[in-house]
Structures are given as C-alpha cells and as structure tokens.
Amino acid sequence: MPREYLKKATKTAQTGEAEVSRTVATMLADIEENGEPAARRYTAQLDGYKGPVVLSADDIAEACARVPQGLRDDIAFAHDNVRRFAEAQKQSVRDVQTEVVPGLIAGQRTIPCNAAGCYIPGGRYSHVASAIMTVTTAKVAGVSHIAACSPPRPGTGLPPAIIFAAHLCGADTILAMGGVQGIAAMTFGLFGLPRADILAGPGNQYVAEAKRILFGRVGIDMVAGPTDSLILADASADPHIVATDLVSQAEHGYNSPVWLVTDDRALAQEVARRVPDLIAALPDLNRASAEAAWRDYAEIILCDDREDMAACSDTYAPEHLTVQAADLDWWLERLTCYGSLFLGEETTVSYGDKATGTNHVLPTSGAAKYTGGLSVHKYMKVVTWQRATRAGSKSVALATARISRTEGMEGHARSADVRLAKYFPGEVFDLAAQT
C-alpha cells in the first residue's frame, strides 16, 4: 500500500527563498563596493554592535579568563574528539604515485587551502560547538590562516565561550561580526584578513544564501538550508525517546523539518501525542521555534515494512538520520543517503551536534544524495601531477596525437608530434586521425 502521512508538512525548506536572495545580493554588492564601512554599518544596524570587529590578543585572553573551568573542560573534551576524528580522516587520503606505463609516473598530492573562513552562528543560540567543528577541522587540515566570525551581542560583543572555543581550536583571527557582513568580510579580505579560499560553517538562511551566491568566487563547504532530521523507528523503539529526539531538533528554528518514519502505527500515534507536551515544557525561545517547526514542517510517515522505511529515508536524504529499530547492522548496510547516521537509542543527534567527534556541519535539503558533511577533506585539495622519461612519453604521445586529430584538435596533436620528432629522430609514426 502507498505510504500514509499521519502528519503532513505545509511548508518546505524552500519557502520564502526568493526574498532572502534579493536581500542578500543587495548587501553583498554594497559591502563589496564600500568595504569595511558598509560591513560595520550592517553590524550596527542588525546586531546593535559598534565595538571592535577584530579581537585583539588581550580581548581574547580576557574573554577566555571569564569561561568557567567546567565549561573549558567540556569544550576541550569535544575539541579533542573532533581533532582525533579529523586526524583519522586525514590519514584516509594520502599522497600517492604509480607508474601508469613504463616511464610514466602519475601522482596525487593533498594540499590544504591557504585561507579559510569559519562561520559560527550566534543569534538565537551561542553555537560553541560550531567553533569546534569548523576551526578544528581546518587546523588539522593544515590551513595557513583560519578566520572565525560570529554575530556579536548588542553592546557586549561575542560570548566568551565562543571566543575560548575558537581560540583553543586554532583560529588565527576572530571577528565580532556575523550574518551576510561576516561572510562578506572573510570573502573580500576586509579588516586585514587574507581573502578566504573556502567558507565553512552553518548559519541562518541569509548566511546560507550569501555562501551560495559567492560560491565560485570562493569555495564553500556546501549549499545549506535549514537543519533537518529524520528518525527511523519500529515497534521496539521507546516513544518517549523518539518524541524527545524530534523535539530536540525542532528547537533549532521555526523552519527546521523533523520527520518520523515508521512501520508501527501505535508508535507513530504515541509519539504524536507526546510531542506537544514536550514542546510546551521548553523555555520560551526554544518553545516558539519548536512549535512552529512541528506545526509547519514536521511529518509522520507510516510505511509497510523496513525496506519501505529505508527507501523513504533515502528519498528524503536527511541531514541527520537516526535509527531506533532492530537489527542495526542491516540499516547500516542498507541506508545510502544521509549526512550523519546515529544507530541505536544509545546515541542521538545531540551527541553528534556537540561532542562525539563527527562533524555537525552537514548537507541539508536533500543534498546528502550527492555529498557528505564538513570534514578535514573539505579544506584540502586533491591535485595530480605527472612525470615521464623520454622513452615513457612515446606511447602516450602516439595516443594523444591520434585521439586529438580524431577530435579535430590539431594544436593538441602537434604538442605530441614535436616530442616524438625530438625524442625519436628518424622514426616514422602513424599520427593520423583514426576513422
């Protein structure tokens, strides 16, 4: 039977995109033309902040001193986990070389970007963990200069915990500037920064749109929309934990989709019953976000069996995918489209968001069908090289000349011809197009 929607979303992640794009394009053009004064103007207008943009060493030291030791320890714990995982990831891609044919060696090098811009959200919530995720991976990759920016609070600037985390993880420059203007500052090289080669980090729809518009002029980790989460649960799942996990992700923002996919009607109904009470028990700000997300974007989908559940999940390609169902190994092998996978009740998206070591900057809006999340590899270029002896170039030159002429690219053919004539004088070769 077809899938049954016990709850159907009335909005999608694309709702309202056009107006956001127009606003962001205008701001970027203004900042590119007018530079630092325009960026400062937007920070004063949008964030109510007129203080220093670039934090000095004294600013950083003073902020770090205000972070309680317990919080320092927690941030250091999360940083160590992210660093260790990033180091392991880095080892998975190495410099290699191979002799393709006798006398012809081809190789690959991994080269870190020279400058990275890391965005740390700070509007609704102070995303300390985003500083850990973005800056740590750039540092492990070997990026020469890492800039970190975050929205300042009116009159007070950046939260000390964000400053501490960015500094601990290896940021070379910390900017009290967020939003489109923060992205622009790192891209255009304002406030003494080198122009960023790559931008990374989550943000609201304005930050995401700025990265999308600038992509090509600068690299980005991914085109991102609102965060989304899907839970696959069967009759063995605990409805209270399922409901709690859905609510925990809905609090991200008013437009953060959460989805439950199950083959058990009783579980679906019980989760739907519990969610409103769990939302109501949140603090005011969190509650408002979760209420809107659950009302407008959440879905509960009833499937025939686990195979149909897996197929449904792959269609949605969620940013965060949780499995609370029997036979976790089957799900691990079967599922193919997700940003990060959380297997079993004993782990949760919240763990990955903060401290497990895997990155929480992940593909949204179905992008997990073709890309993974932020990793040490995003800050590294995999480039190739080749070297040949004169003897080794012979077979390649012959093939190059004939393929080029078959394509009609005579100039390419002649770059092979001249080498054959120089390296093998007196030899006659058939260099005509192959028809």
Tokens of 301: 């989908």
110-132 exposure pattern, b = at least 16 Cβ within 10 A, e = fewer = bebbebbbbbbbbbbebbbbbbb
Q: Out of 79, 127, 251, 319, which one is annotated catalytic?
A: 319
- How far is it, in rounded angstroms, from Cα 7 to Cα 246? 14
- Active site (annotated) includes residue 319: yes
β-strand pairing of 219-220 with 173-176: unpaired
Task: Give the residue from 206, 139, 203, 197 showing the smallest Cα distance to 168.
Answer: 139
Residue type, 427: E
Count of alpha carbons within 13 Å of 191, Cβ hemisphere only? 28
- Active site (annotated) includes residue 320: yes
What residues form DSSP beta bridges with 97?
107
CB-based burial label for 228 (10 Å; 0-12, 13-18, 19+)? buried
| DSSP secondary structure letters along 266-277 | HHHHHHHHHHHH
Q: Out of 79, 127, 320, 360, which one is annotated catalytic?
A: 320
Alpha helices, H only, 111-197: 128-141, 160-169, 179-188
Q: How far lies 133's CA from each of 182, 349, 354, in Å?
A: 18, 14, 9
Tokens of 102: 């006798």
Find tokens 């304002």 and name the residue: 190
CB-based burial label for 202 (10 Å; 0-12, 13-18, 19+)? buried
Active site members: 319-320
